[in-house]
């Protein structure tokens, strides 16, 4: 029996050289796709969905672009995954990680062509990655002890992160907001208690940080608009059963009076439920589900503010922030944990009314209100701000910082080059290739800004041969500049994650020597 017949008819396999080429080409195509979004002068991409409504996303966030693509090439999927993990883990560097992995594979392709075994290349890459990490560790700065310097470091990191995003024009304003919000978290990396509300209208500069919690709901008719020292019951329960729903119930009765009796019984049941809720001694009731007119009236008579249909994320966050728990049964008032806050009032943002909870039990909580020209601008602003918040929350825990603007890559490349000279055997070619791949990041930053990358990178390399050099690419002036003076800083954790993830992904793709595609499942004729 010939070996080909192991697989079903429609299955395909590619072996050896062809499989490796398919992996390399797929991964490099993905890297080239997001390459133009790297750096302060990176461009945006428009992503249009084919679903209903043809929704449009405008973004230059590497992870968002790659997440939206439906990719067939298996090696390209590995790069999409590392960019997702980078986004979840540290928030920033999603484009850099893909570009670096793509460059490592581009260099590996040349080495494989000149008959160097993939395992030798992997061993060289491993040594080079370790050496590069050591080089960064020697040059990190840590100002955790000095609160003022640490805050200024965080401001610089936030501004560097926001530099390549839509918020770059007002980066000082947004960096200040992000740093304030992160300092309120007191070292926690849980960004749940920072709520971002998007309201179209105004300009990005009108965005502000508000202490406390804002719920995007209106206060009902005839209810108190302002409550001091609020006791809040957060619930997820049905408050819409006081009417017989014609479509939802089937009742067989002899006369209309019987229907009225059933409705009366339903109303009584609802009244009992409302009384049980009021027995908790509350003055604010927030429910995830609808509250019909009758119970709303009862709450208004008792002077209790009732808020209906607060979306699930809203009540989860409200429970977290006010220190309450979400209740769904009300028979034992002593076992229910109520939320507390000093003041509830109605506020206006643009044209909309919202409910503001201030003086909440969890002091860390705050809301960031984003204003902007359109939904697309607001979505991109939220992604940019979220990246900055992620990076800052990680930096508060691991306070080591580096300079930015291609400086870390040049520092690593210099050390890796020296290692290549000391290493005997074929591995040295792989180590040298790793150094060339690292230099591709400053090269891409310069290319995207329309500068002469060959000239700038050559100048950078020469400057980095002096000890303690702080030179990097300053795309604003279009020359090599001192990164410390320019205040361009990055978090060590982000750079380390980029380096290690990209190397591991490149290694994984390099090991491939066969791609087997399964036969698609056939629909059987059920006639």
Torsion of CA 285, 344, 389, 394, to 10 degrees: -70
Neighbours of 402 (CB within 10 A): 23
Annotated catalytic residue 474: no
- Structural tokens at position 271: 């009244």
Q: Are 419 and 449 in contact (CB under 8 A)?
A: no
What's the half-sphere exposure (Cβ side, CA atoms, 13 Å) at 387?
A: 32
Q: Give the Cα separation of 504 and 79 in Å (integer).
A: 10
- Structural tokens at position 184: 């309120």
3-state SS class at 451: coil
Instruction: Find all residues with CB under 8 Å of 470, minimum gap 6, and list them.
Output: 403, 407, 482, 483, 484, 485
CA angle 482–498–129, rounded 5-degree value: 90
Annotated catalytic residue 160: no
Annotated catalytic residue 9: no
In angstroms, how far apart are the furthest CA atoms of the chain? 99
Q: Which of 158, 194, 191, 193 is nearest to 176 (CA)?
A: 158
H or E element: which one contains 283?
A: none
- End-to-end, the C-alpha distance of the chain in Å comes to 34
Annotated catalytic residue 61: yes
Task: Name the catalytic one among 387, 417, 447, 474.
Answer: 387
The whole-angstrom distance between residue 502's C-alpha and the CA centroid of its chain comes to: 19
The DSSP letter of residue 290 is: -
Q: Which of 332, 339, 205, 236 is nearest to 282 (CA)?
A: 339
The DSSP letter of residue 520 is: P
Residues in the chain: 527
Q: Can you name the residues that pair with 232 across neighbouring β-strands? A: 284, 339
Task: Name the catalytic one among 59, 64, 94, 444.
Answer: 94
Instruction: Find all residues with CB under 8 Å of 71, minimum gap 6, and list them.
Output: 26, 30, 77, 80
Task: Name the catalytic one among 57, 95, 395, 443.
Answer: 95
Q: Give the Cα separation of 389 and 182 in Å (integer).
A: 7
Q: Give the Cα separation of 359 and 321 in Å (integer).
A: 10
Catalytic positions, please? 61, 94-95, 387
């Amino acid at each position: 029996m010939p070996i080909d017949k192991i697989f079903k008819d429609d299955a395909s396999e590619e072996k050896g050289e062809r499989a490796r080429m398919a992996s390399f080409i797929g991964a490099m195509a993905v890297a080239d796709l997001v390459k133009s979004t790297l750096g302060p002068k990176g461009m945006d991409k428009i992503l249009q969905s084919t679903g209903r409504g043809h929704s449009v996303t405008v973004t230059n966030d590497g992870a968002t672009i790659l997440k939206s693509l439906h990719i067939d090439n298996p090696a390209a999927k590995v790069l999409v995954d590392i960019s997702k993990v980078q986004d979840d883990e540290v928030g920033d560097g999603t484009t850099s990680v893909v570009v670096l992995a793509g460059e490592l594979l581009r260099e590996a392709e040349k080495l494989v062509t000149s008959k160097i075994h993939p395992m030798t290349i992997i061993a060289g890459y491993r040594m080079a990655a370790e050496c590069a990490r050591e080089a960064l560790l020697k040059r990190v700065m840590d100002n955790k002890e000095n609160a003022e310097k640490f805050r200024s470091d965080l401001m610089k990191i936030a501004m560097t992160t926001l530099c390549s995003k839509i918020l770059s024009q007002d980066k000082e304003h947004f960096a200040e907001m992000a740093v304030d919000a992160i300092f309120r978290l007191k070292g926690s990396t849980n960004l749940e208690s920072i709520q971002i509300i998007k309201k179209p209208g105004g300009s990005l500069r009108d965005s502000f940080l508000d202490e406390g919690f804002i719920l995007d709901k209106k206060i009902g008719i005839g209810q108190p608009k302002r409550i001091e020292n609020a006791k809040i019951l957060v619930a997820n329960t049905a408050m819409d059963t006081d009417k017989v729903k014609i479509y939802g119930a089937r009742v067989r009765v002899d006369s209309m009076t019987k229907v009225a009796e059933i409705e009366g019984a339903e109303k009584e049941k609802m009244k009992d439920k409302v009384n049980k809720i009021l027995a908790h001694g509350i003055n604010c009731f927030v429910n995830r589900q609808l509250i019909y007119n009758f119970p709303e009236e009862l709450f208004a008579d008792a002077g209790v503010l009732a808020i209906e249909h607060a979306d699930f994320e809203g009540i989860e966050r409200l429970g977290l922030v006010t220190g309450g728990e979400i209740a769904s049964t009300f028979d034992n008032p002593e076992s229910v944990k109520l939320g507390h806050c000093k003041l509830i009032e109605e506020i206006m943002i643009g044209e909309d009314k919202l409910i503001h909870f201030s003086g909440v039990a969890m002091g860390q909580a705050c809301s960031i209100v984003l204003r902007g020209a359109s939904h697309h601008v607001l979505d991109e602003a939220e992604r940019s701000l979220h990246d900055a918040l992620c990076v800052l929350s990680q930096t508060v825990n691991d306070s080591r910082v580096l300079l930015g603007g291609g400086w870390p890559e040049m520092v690593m490349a210099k050390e890796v080059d020296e290692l290549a000279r000391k290493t005997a055997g074929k591995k040295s070619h792989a180590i040298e290739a790793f150094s060339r791949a690292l230099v591709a990041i400053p090269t891409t930053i310069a290319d995207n800004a329309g500068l002469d990358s060959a000239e700038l990178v050559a100048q950078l390399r020469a400057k980095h041969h002096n000890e303690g050099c702080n030179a990097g690419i300053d795309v604003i002036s279009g020359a090599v500049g001192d990164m410390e003076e320019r205040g361009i800083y990055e978090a060590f954790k982000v750079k380390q994650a980029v380096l290690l993830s990209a190397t591991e992904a490149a290694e994984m793709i390099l090991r491939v020597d066969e791609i087997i595609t399964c036969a698609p499942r056939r629909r059987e004729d059920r006639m």
